[in-house]
Amino acid sequence: MDVFVLDANIVSFYMNGNAIVGDNISRATACGASVIIAPIAYYEVKRGLIAANAPTKLRYFHRLCGLLPVGKLDNDILDAAAEIYADLRKRGLAIGDADILIAAFCRKHKFTLVTNNRKHFASIAGLPVRDWTLFDLEIS
């Protein structure tokens, strides 16, 4: 079964009414795939809504999290993130810790990351990435 993990930017696109993202989420679930929110993406979206003092959008976000589960971090994922960081550092590459944790979560579980930020994740081997703002739903 395919599992698609939403990055914060995809959650934001969805919450702002992006029809392509909404259609891809609907199509994925209709085909039996799972769609979940990355645990760090949950933090990124929620902190932004709290900082912006956006209670209506925060309530909407909480409802969305009731429909789409939020992934969980554990020590195995943190260990995988440390390995990704070390590998990138050896190669002289750098991406933010949030993106490394999201990549580790997806790669450890063999999930597909859905993001509008392919460039941030391009240097991480073994990480399938899709951009659902471009209508590229692929289900095996």
Residue 53 lies in a domain: yes
Q: Domain of 67: which CATH number?
A: 3.40.50.1010
Confirm whether 102 is domain-assigned. Answer: yes
Confirm whether 29 is domain-assigned: yes
In whole angstroms, what is the distance from residue 107 CA to residue 109 CA? 5
Per-residue model confidence (pLDDT) at position 94: 84
Q: Is residue 46 domain-resident?
A: yes
| Residue at 93 is within a domain | yes
Handedness of CA 102, 75, 44, 38 (dihedral sign): positive
Predicted confidence at residue 140, as pLDDT, reads: 56
Task: Please state the domain count of the chain.
Answer: 1
In a domain, 100, yes or no: yes
Residue 134 pLDDT: 84
Question: pLDDT tens digit string along 37-92?
Answer: 999 999 999 999 999 999 999 999 999 999 999 999 999 999 999 999 999 999 99
Mean of all residue pLDDT scores within the chain: 93
Candidates 92, 108, 127, 106; CA nearest to 34 is 106
Query: Is the residue at 138 inside a domain?
Result: no
Provide the percentage of residues in the chain whose pLDDT is more than 70. 96
* Residue 69: DSSP 8-state: P
Give residue 30's domain range: 3-131
- Residue pair 9/117 in contact (Cβ under 8 Å)? The answer is yes
Within a domain: residue 123?
yes
Which residues are paired to 119 by β-bridges? none
